[in-house]
Structure 1
Amino acid sequence: MQFERSDIPDLLLITPKRIGDDRGWFSETFREDRFRAEAGDVSFVQHNQSYSRAMGTVRGLHFQLAPKAQGKLVRCPRGRILDVAVDLRSSSPTYGRHHAVELSAENGRQLWIPPGFAHGFCTLVEDCEIAYLVTDYYSHEHDRGLNWRDPDLQIDWPVDEADAVTSPKDRQLPMLRDLGRVFD
């Protein structure tokens, strides 16, 4: 398993090793001791999976407020996505900056997004499945989001706004300048 630090502190790109032969391959996608050595004292309590049928589906940018803030370990076991994390920690020197990475079934990469970040993705092909482990349970009361179209974020989404497949909820999310302080 290879761990790479991103340009935003605390985000980790993880590439599991694949051992293959003529039957296919085997990969250890999570190993607690190695993960904790890189990410710190993290425990997962829930495993989520989503399916997006259409290419150009955008989900996010989502987060949960404290005390139910979630860290997420995200991977794409089917298809290809552009995965995006936005730093919402107001005391961070990278506040408001984002990190985007392609996750796919082919590359096997995973992105560790600690609490304090908004998370979203855009599907690059049809029929994508996204699986992620989270550090706290879903809480409707603490569920929040940030508008994926916010021009101040300068995210180079691979789909035009008019062509994006989104939910009504995600289209109504606030811009960063209207969000207020959500994480210290």
Structure 2
Amino acid sequence: MGQITVEKNVGGIEGLCVITPAVHGDKRGYFMETYNQRDMEEAGLNLNFVQDNQSSSTKGVLRGLHFQKQYPQGKLVRAIRGSVFDVAVDLRKHSKTYGKWFGVELTEENKKQFYIPEGFAHGFLVLSDIAEFCYKCTDFYHPGDEGGIAWNDPEIGITWPEVQGEYDGTASAKGYTLSDSTPLNLSEKDQNWGGLKDAFQF
């Protein structure tokens, strides 16, 4: 190994991992391995990725909380530009931590990666003016298989950094802002998910 440091079961939730790569830098810039199968396997992560995705979002955009029901995806996520607060929620019905969440800030500076195995809902909030977000998936995207949970479900109780507003019983972003008054920005679909009590369980 040597090119990555893996913190396993972060937040006390089995399977969640924060991965920090070794960064080799000098006055010219830096180099790092963003993925090495051998290093991952030596760390106990035997993963088979089949799809890479990338998105760009502006400050205040919140994407999530998403999952696929019949074709669950494990995800290895990172921010290559800007900063996001990334969140996973345990939806494994036999898990001791069912319904528990963990969040980590991923930035282009800290270069951390977050591994979220199958059986979790996932989402992120953009904290910088612009963020570019990359992730590797263990299964393909399947249209029509999407599920989701309200980003502000009080039963889960995610503490989204900088978010201000009063819960009105729905997933609507209306009235929510970041601390600098940037409006919270969610898709129409993400403003209509239900809570944990109605969510699909793995």
Name 2:98's counterpart in structure 1. 95
Q: What TM-score, normalized to structure 2?
A: 0.86
Structure 1 counterpart of 2:198, from 169, 178, 183: 178
TM-score, normalised via structure 1 length: 0.94
Aligned-pair CA distance for 1:36: 2.5
- SS of the residue 1:151 aligns to: coil
Residue equivalent to 1:142: 145
Matched length: 180
After superposition, the C-alpha distances for 1:4-58 in whole angstroms (9 at most, x for unaligned) are 01121100100001000101110111111121333533100000001102x1210
Residue in 2 aligned with 1:48? 53
CA apart distance, 1:125: 0.9
Larger radius of gyration: 2
CA distance in 1, matches of 2:22, 2:6: 11
Does residue 58 (structure 1) correspond to residue 62 (structure 2)? The answer is yes
In structure 2, the residue matched to 1:73 is 76
Q: Measure the CA separation in 1 of the matches of 2:30 and 2:89.
A: 33
Amino acid at match of 2:151: W
* Matched-pair identity in %: 44
Residues of 1 paired with 2:145 and 2:44: CA distance?
24
- Note if contact 1:79-1:125 (Cα within 8 Å) is conserved in structure 2: yes
Deviation at 1:129, TM superposition (A): 0.5
Gaps of 5+ in 2: 165-172, 178-183
Equivalent residue for 2:22?
A: 17
Structure 1 unaligned spans of 5+: none
Is the CA contact (8 Å cut-off) linking 1:80 and 1:105 kept in structure 2?
Answer: yes
- Secondary structure class of the residue paired with 1:92: coil
Q: Distance in 2 between matches of 1:116 and 1:145?
A: 12
- The alignment status of 1:108 with 2:81, answered yes or no, reads no
- Give SS of 1:33's match: helix
Aligned-residue CA RMSD (Å) = 1.1
